Amino acid sequence: MHRALAHLAVPALATILLAASSPQIARAQDSGARGGARAAPASFDAAWNAVSRTYWDTLFVRQRWQVAYDSIRLALVEGGAMDAEAERRAIRRLIAVPGQSHFALIPGAAVPVPRPPRASAADEPAVDAAPGTVGLALRSIDDTVVAWRVTPGGAADRAGVRPGDAIVAVDTVRLAALRAEVAGRSGADTTTVQRLITTYALAQLGGSVGESIRLTVRDARGAEREVALVRTPIEGRLTQMGNLPPIVVSATREPLPLGDGRTATLIGFSAWFPAIAPQLDEYLFGARGTPGLVVDLRGNPGGVIGMLAGVSGHMLDTTVALGTMHGRGATIRFVANPRTVDRGGARVGTITAPIALLVDEFTGSTSEFFSAGMQAIGRARIFGTVSAGQSLPALMSRLPNGDVLMHAIADHEDAAGRRVEGAGVRPDELVPLRRVDLRSGRDAALEAARAWLRTQHP
């Protein structure tokens, strides 16, 4: 059954995609449950049917999708023992056919079936092990995975990892060797391959509280060393929607001095989930009267599309459309819902200040929908690097074997008619990452946004 209309580019999905092409990753990963021989590929058939019923391009479904089903299913059935892993491999081959984002097979172990909430935390999912963090975020600079953000006091910080350090290996997987292997097998361009490698490394940092991971790190002097990092609890709210994996979400707000006597507002949030909607409302209602607003969407993979109307409504005083979703037999315009009345019923108007949005290659889905739309209508200026280009609404369907299929159900255009899928949101001011900036503690994209706000007046 379908759950959660989502616009989410989940970093862990790259691990799943890479596993299909990389024996090195496949050996390093937990392979998951293996079943015995099957009489029929029920999960494979269910995956094919889910896409057949919902994919917006019906000509594709009648032609290429049908042909792919026939050939891949025949090979699966005639290939000998049809165990769970063979069926998973066949499903991954099948969902690679559309060549779009938001097609992935997520192992059932990563997406527990939602259970009744705990009495002590009524708005949090009951999960067996809480997600943990090592306090480290990664990005790519050229062909190197580097430490981008290191949380003060976190495991990585305590181990001496510093922004700008190169990540050479994750556990036993050497990233340079993995990059060469994936490039040779996939034939993808170097930028795509490097993004996949970085996403893989990011995904491996995740895990349960108390579990450990080993990284090989090269510092600014070129010295390599291995560090063992133990995951600690993530600050934020643990939430789960439908068949999406549990996720910890958070939002932050801080003053941003402009250096000219004025103080703007900087807001960041990790994903678009209703669990933090009240907190975002509080921050955005509080931003009325600010001389400038910066919204940091770097690393924000997206989430629930329905939040777009409310969040954008804090910044727009008319019901302007940010973009359009073209589904099978239906077209939906995503329109701002002006938030001109606060929670107490008082009229407050909307934010009139200039708005800067920060994006990068891990800004995806709903975050792209929002930033592309705000850019297209001229309401915000974008800073950073080109976003992920993964801008398709998707459903999450539970398969008979317990795995979850993410599958795109509609195409998307921004308010100017531009297709973001595959292209990404291109910043008005490109600000590439540089190791010299990371090592000096300088956030170049934020500084560029701050400099622009100094030239603006509400």
Structural domains present in the chain: 1-30+40-114+240-453 (3.90.226.10), 131-233 (2.30.42.10)
The four Cα atoms 278, 283, 287, 293 give a dihedral, to 10 degrees, of -120
Looking at 157-171, 235-249, 393-407, which range is the least confident one? 235-249
Is a pLDDT exceeding 70 seen at residue 7?
A: no
Mean pLDDT for 419-428 is: 94
pLDDT score, position 189: 81
Is a pLDDT exceeding 60 seen at residue 13?
A: no
Percentage of the chain surpassing pLDDT 70? 86
Confirm if 407 and 95 have CB atoms less than 8 A apart: yes
pLDDT per position as a tens digit, 89-129:
999 999 999 999 889 888 877 665 555 444 444 455 544 56
Choose between 444 and 10: higher pLDDT. Answer: 444
pLDDT per position as a tens digit, 214-226:
999 999 999 999 9
Mean pLDDT for 188-201 is: 87
pLDDT score, position 110: 67
C-alpha span between 153 and 156 (Å, rounded): 8
- Amino acid (one-letter) located at 455: T
The residue written with tokens 């005083």 in the block is: 317
Is a pLDDT exceeding 80 seen at residue 147?
A: yes
Mean pLDDT for 300-322 is: 94
Give 79's pLDDT tier (boundaries 50, 70, 90).
Answer: confident
Is a pLDDT exceeding 60 seen at residue 1?
A: no
pLDDT score, position 29: 39
pLDDT score, position 458: 57
Mean pLDDT for 357-369 is: 95
pLDDT score, position 26: 41
Averaged pLDDT of the chain: 86
Confirm if 371 and 423 have CB atoms less than 8 A apart: no
Q: Report the alpha-carbon angle 399-274-384, nearest 5.
A: 95
Is a pLDDT exceeding 60 seen at residue 16?
A: no
Mean pLDDT for 323-339 is: 92
Rounded to two decimals, the pTM is: 0.84
C-alpha span between 417 and 142 (Å, rounded): 32
Is a pLDDT exceeding 50 seen at residue 14?
A: no
Mean pLDDT for 168-181 is: 93
- The number of residues in the chain equals 458
Is a pLDDT exceeding 60 seen at residue 58?
A: yes
| Three-class SS of the chain | CEEEEEEECCCHHHHHHHHCCCHHHHHHCCCCCCCCCCCCCHHHHHHHHHHHHHCCCHHHHHHHHHHHHHHHHHHHHCCCCCCHHHHHHHHHHHHCCCCCCCCEEECHHHCCCCCCCECCECCCCCCCCCEEECCEEEEEECCEEEEEEECCCCHHHHCCCCCCCEEEEECCEEHHHHHHHHHHHHCCCHHHHHHHHHHHHHHHHCEECCCEEEEEEECCCCCEEEEEEECEECCCEEECCCCCCCEEECEEEEEEECCCCCEEEEEEECCECHHHHHHHHHHHHHCCCCCCEEEECCCCCEEECCHHHHHHHCCCCCCCEEEEEEECCEEEEEECCCCCECCCCCECCCCCCCEEEEECCCCCCHHHHHHHHHHHCCCEEEEECCCCCCCCCEEEEECCCCCEEEEECEEEEECCCCECCCCCCCCCEECCCCHHHHHHCCCHHHHHHHHHHHCCCC
Is a pLDDT exceeding 50 seen at residue 260?
A: yes
